């Protein structure tokens, strides 16, 4: 039966949200000290319609000199994927590993471009092992649901 064949298609990849803040400019730009860079990444997957999912990869890049922000970038890159006739146990892996691997290069490019357009040397996000990230989230979710009390 042709209608039972597994389907995995990219419908669209798009920049969902992006912001660049430089709250201490121009004074902070005169500082000679190297800023500290903190990068946080996240992945979210949500059903949009039957067999259609939105997967968002988020990045927050916060650079500071001492306690003053040099710049803060918050970006959310998303993709819409059609995923049908896939076993339920594989769906989580597709949404948590395969889809973010497709979306992430767009996020990396947009973050580097936005930072550079803000007048700074681009920050290039490193490659991410989404399988390891997914497995870690599964372990954390399992331990949280096993009745362990939050610390």
Per-residue pLDDT tens over the stretch 6-64? 999 999 999 999 999 999 999 988 888 999 999 999 999 999 999 999 999 999 999 99
- Residue 137 falls within a domain, yes or no? no
- Residue 138 falls within a domain, yes or no? no
What pLDDT was estimated at residue 94?
Answer: 95
Half-sphere exposure at residue 30, Cβ-oriented, CA atoms within 13 angstroms: 4
- Residue 135 falls within a domain, yes or no? no
Per-residue confidence band for 142, with pLDDT thresholds at 50, 70 and 90: confident
Strands 52-65 and 7-21: unpaired
Provide the domain limits for residue 70.
Answer: 2-128
C-alpha closest to that of 81 among 58, 102, 110, 106 = 102
Count of CB atoms situated within 10 Å of the CB of 118: 15
In sequence order, the β-bridge partners of residue 36 are 64
- Residue 134 falls within a domain, yes or no? no
Is residue 54 within 8 Å of residue 96, measured between CB atoms? no
Number of domains in the chain: 1
- Residue 99 falls within a domain, yes or no? yes
Helix, strand, coil distribution of the chain in percent, nearest 5 = 35, 40, 25
* Alpha-carbon torsion (145, 78, 121, 65), positive or negative: negative
Instruction: Give yes or no for residue 145 having a pLDDT over 80.
Output: no
CATH number of the domain residue 76 falls in: 3.10.420.10
Instruction: Give yes or no for residue 1 having a pLDDT over 60.
Output: no
């Amino acid at each position: 039966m042709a209608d039972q064949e597994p389907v995995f298609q990219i419908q669209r990849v798009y920049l969902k949200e992006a912001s660049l803040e430089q709250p201490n400019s121009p004074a902070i730009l005169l500082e000679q000290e190297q800023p500290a860079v903190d990068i946080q990444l996240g992945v979210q997957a949500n059903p949009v319609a039957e067999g259609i999912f939105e997967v968002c990869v988020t990045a927050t890049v916060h650079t500071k000199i001492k306690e003053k922000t040099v710049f803060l970038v918050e970006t959310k890159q998303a993709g819409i994927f059609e995923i049908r006739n896939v076993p339920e146990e594989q769906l989580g892996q597709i949404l948590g590993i395969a889809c973010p691997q497709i979306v992430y290069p767009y996020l990396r490019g947009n973050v580097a471009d936005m930072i550079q357009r803000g007048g700074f040397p681009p920050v290039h996000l490193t490659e991410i092992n989404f399988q390891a990230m997914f497995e870690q989230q599964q372990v954390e979710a399992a331990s949280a649901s096993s009745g362990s009390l939050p610390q």
